[in-house]
Amino acid sequence: MPRIGAEPERRKALIHAAIDVIGEHGSLDVPVKVIAEQAGMSPALAFHYFGHKDEIIVETMRYLLRELSNSVVAELQRAQTPFDRIDGIIRSSFAPGQFDRKTIAAWLVFYLKAYSAPAAARLLTIYFRRFESNLVGAFRQLLDDPGSVATGKEAMELAEGLGALIDGLYIREALGAREPDAYRAIELCRRHVDAALGRIGIESGLAARIEASRSGQPGHGSPATGGVH
């Protein structure tokens, strides 16, 4: 008799196995058999929970996007200022479970999948719209200050610039030989925002957060420990 509650656990195990296997191979050209073995179950059971490999891929993308979205929402709920909102989105983008070597490699493969799979493309489109909306909203709160001459167009440009930097850091880390450094990635994004806002006369204070986090620990820390907050 199947164990009650086993299905959600096994589906999740298959999703994590897909991330590991796809990330390790850097390709979607991996048999379901390999994914199932990584999850500790038979291919027949994998096909029972997911009808075909494309469904495993799409559900894995959905899982990663949901985890990322949950992290962003949690950060935004804690934010008290527009700067906090921007910084929270930055930290969420490099959270543990997203910014590790296998997951980064899997993300790049999923991006390619979106070119040929409408379901995958829809997932990415929905996420990117939310991501852009959150960033633009935060930047607009800053730029709508009565003393600022910046426009809505500038808010969009600031959001696009930060988004492009985050994407670029993922690509660079995927091609690098070292383990991804989330602390360094967050630091680069903070400095980018600091410099971009400084050019239009707004002081963000994000660079000061970098110095404060450094004083609290001897080396590079993990976003999970609060060392980069």
Q: What is the pLDDT of residue 226?
A: 35
* 22 and 92 assigned to the same domain: no
> Percent of the chain having pLDDT more than 70?
85
Are the C-beta atoms of residues 74 and 135 closer than 8 Å to each other? no
* 128 and 144 assigned to the same domain: yes
How many structural domains compose the chain? 2
pTM for the model stands at 0.81
Range of the structural domain that residue 39 is part of = 1-51
Q: What is the pLDDT of residue 152?
A: 78
Q: What is the pLDDT of residue 195?
A: 92
Q: Is the pLDDT of residue 1 over 90?
A: no
* 63 and 21 assigned to the same domain: no
CATH of the domain at 125: 1.10.357.10
Angstrom distance (rounded) from CA 198 to CA 203: 6
* 194 and 169 assigned to the same domain: yes
- Average pLDDT of the chain, as a whole number: 83
* 119 and 47 assigned to the same domain: no
Separation in Å, CA 104 to CA 26, 117, 154:
10, 20, 30
* 110 and 81 assigned to the same domain: yes
Q: Is the pLDDT of residue 221 over 70?
A: no
* 84 and 38 assigned to the same domain: no
* 27 and 112 assigned to the same domain: no
Mean pLDDT of the 186-204 span:
89
Q: What is the pLDDT of residue 111?
A: 85
* 157 and 187 assigned to the same domain: yes
Could you report the per-residue pLDDT of 58-81, keeping only the tens digit for each? Answer: 899 899 999 999 999 999 999 999
Q: What is the pLDDT of residue 54?
A: 86
Q: What is the pLDDT of residue 23?
A: 87
More confident residue, 125 or 6: 125
Angstrom distance (rounded) from CA 155 to CA 144: 10
**Cβ within 8 Å of residue 213, ≥6 positions away:** 221, 227, 228, 229
Kindly tell me the burial class for residue 102, based on how many C-beta atoms sit within 10 Å of its own C-beta (0-12, 13-18, 19 or more): middle
SS3 40: coil
Residue owning tokens 């934010």: 79
SS3 218: coil
Are the C-beta atoms of residues 86 and 139 closer than 8 Å to each other? yes
* 111 and 133 assigned to the same domain: yes
Could you report the per-residue pLDDT of 107-128, keeping only the tens digit for each? Answer: 888 888 888 888 889 988 998 8
Most confident of 32-36, 199-203, 215-219: 32-36
Mean pLDDT of the 5-13 span:
82
Q: What is the pLDDT of residue 224?
A: 37
Angstrom distance (rounded) from CA 72 to CA 64: 12
